[in-house]
């Protein structure tokens, strides 16, 4: 099989970068084999304890490193990839493009795009809708542009896939002027994952994607569920922010919005404290009082811990409820996909859905466990864009 790491053919690798608030996940993909040559994370960027994890094959290296900003972190990643001993490429120009995960593209970006000055400006602009996520992506892009000045940078948006949602699915029951004034509407997230597993489901089912009604459940630390009709997202559980919808590790998902004012008055909480409660102290952690990690809860429930068992039950119930809603939305379903850390690994969820929905699902409806690979889809989009296979349109 062709192996990019041996360098028979230059200029076929794509670097994928996913910048968080203090970390960067990276992967270098060989586009001939569509496999990752190396991957890892740079963590605690900006602190004295910064380090980089670099993985190649079965080997993993952890290096403490002074990473004061994104520029130094990406420069270090590039050095590791080029390292004569542990690296996977010999020359920098073996990287032909960089694909960036960007969380928010507003209503403007319905597809992935090659980044130019205008796109960069708009990514910064949409920081107002994703204040924790877009600024690091913007900084990562700026840094990558300096480190790889000759090659194209591509943005792949989490929100893009859901831009096909009809108005009835994305408009909130709020004064319509607020939508116009502040762009308040439902956007949805995890779009790259929902799109990737939809494509994979069609391959597994050996049917064209545009003939299928799918419900894709991304159940990781963050959780969301989408109704994907004939290849397009027609509804999804996350909304204006990633707080809406399913119960998550530490996020509450759907609640009665009146609770916010009530609790703030009763507990004399500030807005910041309230946001902390909803985002970081709720969900599986909040209900169990023990952990946000499903693995811990499964062990605790097994040992008889009632609150851990309740957290799992509430989690699965909410997933089931959304599946029911999306069957109604699409007037049917051909397959349900479970993906991400919880979806792919906790078989009990699949078994319970099969049992509890057996009168709703036809015998032909399959529940599939599919491994998600957002980075791979970012690499594929980047490759297609730089080769003109898809156009850089909004
Ligand atoms: P992220 O959304 O951060 O990418 P992941 O997709 O890795 O997160 O999902 C994290 C969640 O998946 C955690 O709740 C973790 O407990 C759960 N998880 C991961 N592996 C397993 C496993 N083997 N069994 C049960 N739960 C798992």
pLDDT tens-digit map of 134-174: 999 999 999 999 999 999 999 999 999 999 999 999 999 99
Average pLDDT over residues 208-235: 97
pLDDT at 202: 98
Q: Residue written as tokens 């466990």?
A: 369
Residues 312 and 213 in one domain: yes
Q: How many CA atoms lie within 13 A of 161 on its CB side?
A: 33
Residue 329 in any domain: the answer is: yes
Residue that wins the pLDDT comparison between 49 and 213 = 213
214/337 Cα distance (integer angstroms): 7
User: What pLDDT score does 1 carry?
Assistant: 41
Query: With contact defined as beta carbons under 8 Å apart, do 96 and 366 qualify?
Result: no
Q: Is there a single domain that holds both residue 88 and residue 13? A: yes
Residues 6+ apart with CB under 8 A from 381: 99, 112, 154, 156, 390
Domain assignment of residue 268, yes or no:
yes
Cα(333)–Cα(349) distance, rounded to whole angstroms? 18
In a domain, 362, yes or no: yes
- pLDDT score of 347: 96
Span 384-391, average pLDDT: 84
Q: Is the same domain home to 253 and 149? A: no
Question: What distance in angstroms lies between residue 269's CA and the mean position of ligand 1's atoms?
Answer: 31
Q: Is the pLDDT of residue 77 over 50?
A: yes
CA of 305 to the centre of ligand 1 (A): 20
Which structural domain range is residue 82 located in?
A: 7-157
Return d(Cα 5, Cα 37) in angstroms, integer: 7
Residues 149 and 213 in one domain: no
Helix (H/G/I), strand (E/B), else coil: 322? helix
Contact 98, 72 (CB under 8 A): no
Whether 288 and 140 map to the same domain: the answer is no
Q: Which atom of ligand 1 is nearest to the CA of 220?
A: 9
Q: Are 151 and 213 contained in the same domain?
A: no
Which residues are CB-neighbours of 235 under 8 A, at least 6 positions away? 165, 169, 226, 227, 325, 326, 329
Which of 295, 349, 350 maximizes ligand 1 atoms within 8 Å of its Cβ, making it the mutation to test the pocket? 295
Looking at residue 97, which CATH number applies to its domain? Answer: 3.30.420.40
C-alpha to C-alpha distance for 41 and 29, rounded to whole angstroms: 15
Same domain? For 11 and 94 the reply is yes
* Count of domains forming the chain: 2
CA 383 to chain centre: 19
In a domain, 111, yes or no: yes
* 233, part of any domain: yes
Pocket of ligand 1 (CB under 6 A): 220-222, 249, 293-295, 340-342, 345-346
Does residue 272 fall inside a structural domain? Answer: yes
**pLDDT for the residue 7:** 46
Residues in CB range of 86: below 8 A, 6 or more apart: 54, 56, 59, 61, 80
Q: Which of 116, 142, 157 is the last residue of a domain?
A: 157
Last residue of one domain, picked from the residues 96, 125, 157: 157
Catalytic (active site) residue 158: yes
Per-chain mean pLDDT for the chain: 94
Residues in contact with 246: Cβ distance below 8 Å, sequence separation at least 6, in sequence order: 219, 223, 224, 225, 237, 253, 315, 318, 319, 322
Atom of ligand 1 nearest to the CA of 372: 6
Confidence of residue 4 (pLDDT cuts 50, 70, 90): low
Burial of 273 (0-12, 13-18, 19+ CB in 10 A): middle
Residue 36 is encoded by which pair of tokens?
């990752």
Scan for tokens 């996350």, then name that residue: 238
Query: What tokens does 364 get?
Result: 């032909």
- Which residue in this structure is represented by tokens 């080029």? 82
Do 139 and 17 contact (CB within 8 A), yes or no? Answer: no
Q: Is the pLDDT of residue 394 over 90?
A: no
Whether residue 11 is found in the same domain as residue 69: yes
**Could you give the 3-state DSSP secondary structure of residue 66?**
coil
Could you give the CA distance from residue 244 to residue 322 in angstroms, rounded to a whole number? 12
Q: Is 191 inside any structural domain?
A: no
In a domain, residue 79? The reply is yes
pLDDT digits 0-9 by tens, 165-204 = 999 999 999 999 999 999 999 999 999 999 999 999 999 9
Residues 94 and 27 in one domain: yes
Q: Report d(CA 297, CA 314) in Å as an integer.
A: 12
pLDDT of residue 9 exceeding 60: no
Q: Which atom of ligand 1 is nearest to the CA of 294?
A: 16
Q: Output b/e per residue, 83-113; b: 16+ Cβ within 10 A.
A: eeeebbbeeeebbbbbbbbbbbbbebbbbbb
- pLDDT higher at 189 or 2: 189
What is the pLDDT, as a whole number, of residue 66? 86
Catalytic choice (116, 158, 313, 373):
158
Q: Which long-range contacts (CB under 8 A, 24 or more apart) does 253-261 make?
A: 253/223, 253/283, 253/318, 254/318
Strand-pair category, 152-157 with 95-102? parallel
Query: Which residues fall within 8 angstroms of residue 323, CB to CB, at 6 or more apart?
Result: 215, 217, 225, 333, 336, 353, 357
Helix (H) or strand (E) holding 104: none
Q: Which of the listed residues 128, 157, 186 is the one where a domain comes to its end?
A: 157
Q: pLDDT > 90: what percent of the chain?
A: 88
Predicted local confidence at residue 237, as pLDDT: 98
37 and 127 co-located in one domain = yes
* 364 plus 223 within the same structural domain: yes
Q: Does 247 share its domain with 359?
A: yes
């Amino acid at each position: 099989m062709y192996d990019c790491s041996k360098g028979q053919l230059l200029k076929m690798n794509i670097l994928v970068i996913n910048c968080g608030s203090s970390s960067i996940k990276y992967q270098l993909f060989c586009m001939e084999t569509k496999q990752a040559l190396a991957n890892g994370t740079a963590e605690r960027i900006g602190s004295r304890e910064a380090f980089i994890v670099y993985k190649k094959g079965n080997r993993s290296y952890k290096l403490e490193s002074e990473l004061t900003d994104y520029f130094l972190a990406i420069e270090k990643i590039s050095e590791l990839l080029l390292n004569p001993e542990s690296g996977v490429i010999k020359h920098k120009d073996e990287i032909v493009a960089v694909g960036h995960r960007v969380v928010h593209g507003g209503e403007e970006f319905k597809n992935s795009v090659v980044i130019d000055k205008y796109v960069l400006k708009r990514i910064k602009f949409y920081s107002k809708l994703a204040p924790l996520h877009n600024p690091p992506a913007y900084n990562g892009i700026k840094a990558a542009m300096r480190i790889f000045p000759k090659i194209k940078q591509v943005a792949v948006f989490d929100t893009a896939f859901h831009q096909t949602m009809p108005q009835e699915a994305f408009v909130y029951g709020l004064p319509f002027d607020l939508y116009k004034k502040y762009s308040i509407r439902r956007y949805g997230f995890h779009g790259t994952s929902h799109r990737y597993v939809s494509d994979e489901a069609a391959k597994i089912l050996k049917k064209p994607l545009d003939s299928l009604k799918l419900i894709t459940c991304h159940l990781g630390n963050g959780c969301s569920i989408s109704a994907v009709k004939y290849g397009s997202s027609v509804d999804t559980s996350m909304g204006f922010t990633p707080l809406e919808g399913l119960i998550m590790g530490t996020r509450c998902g759907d609640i009665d919005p009146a609770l916010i004012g009530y609790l703030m008055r009763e507990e004399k909480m500030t807005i910041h404290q309230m946001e902390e409660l909803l985002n970081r102290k709720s969900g599986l952690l909040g209900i169990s009082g023990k952990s946000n990690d499903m693995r811990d809860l499964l062990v605790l429930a097994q040992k008889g811990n009632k609150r851990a068992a309740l957290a799992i039950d509430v989690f699965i119930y909410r997933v089931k409820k959304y599946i029911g809603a999306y069957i109604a939305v699409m007037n049917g379903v051909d397959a349900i996909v479970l993906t991400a850390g919880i979806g792919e690994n906790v078989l009990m969820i699949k078994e319970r859905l099969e049992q509890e929905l057996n009168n709703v699902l036809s015998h032909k409806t399959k529940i599939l466990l599919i491994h998600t690979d957002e980075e791979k889809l970012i690499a594929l989009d980047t490759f297609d864009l730089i080769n003109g296979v898809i156009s850089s349109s909004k």
